[in-house]
Amino acid sequence: MPVEIERKYLVRNDGWRASGTGIRYRQGYLSTQPGRSVRVRVGAGRGVLTIKGLIVNATRPEYEYPIPVEDANELLNNLCLRPIIEKTRYTIAHEGLLWEIDEFEGVNAGLIIAEVELAEPDQQIRLPDWIGEEVTDDPRYYNACLIANPFTKWSDRSSG
């Protein structure tokens, strides 16, 4: 079974901006049930359907399939839950790992999250100096949860 082992962090400063290249994404969810989600994403001219399972110790099953970009756009425009997640993703290599920094737009503007995928759940990593608080276990920061509870509506908003 394919798995994703991922840790999430808030970003404390703009030190990452000098070395990142960004791709704009639109993504939406066909399902956000507890323990599973079905996501559609369009970015860089590609469409992707992703099915994710329950997170346990920063690990979850993940199945990802390319789909025609036209189909992905139709799903986003007609079937996905609202609001659609809009973000620019920057990728930065640091100490042998690839970090993905998501800068959200729209109803989640102001939120910046850094994610890193690992080989093992207990893998030791050296954090870049622009990394802030870890939020791996805080479901508020899951993209699927940002639909029902957008960042701009939080009373205790913080992005690092």
What are the pLDDT digits (tens) for 59-95? 899 999 999 999 999 999 999 999 999 999 999 999 9
Of the candidates 29, 90, 141, 142, the residue annotated as catalytic is 29
- Domain residue spans in the chain? 3-153
The CATH code of domain 3-153 reads: 2.40.320.10
Burial (Cβ within 10 Å: 0-12, 13-18, ≥19) of residue 42: buried
Residue 97 β-bridge partners: 94
Asked if 87 contacts 102 with a C-beta cutoff of 8 angstroms, the reply is: yes
Assign 43 to helix, strand or coil. strand
What are the pLDDT digits (tens) for 82-141? 999 999 999 999 999 999 999 999 999 999 999 999 999 889 999 999 999 999 999 999
- Asked if 29 is an active-site residue, the reply is yes
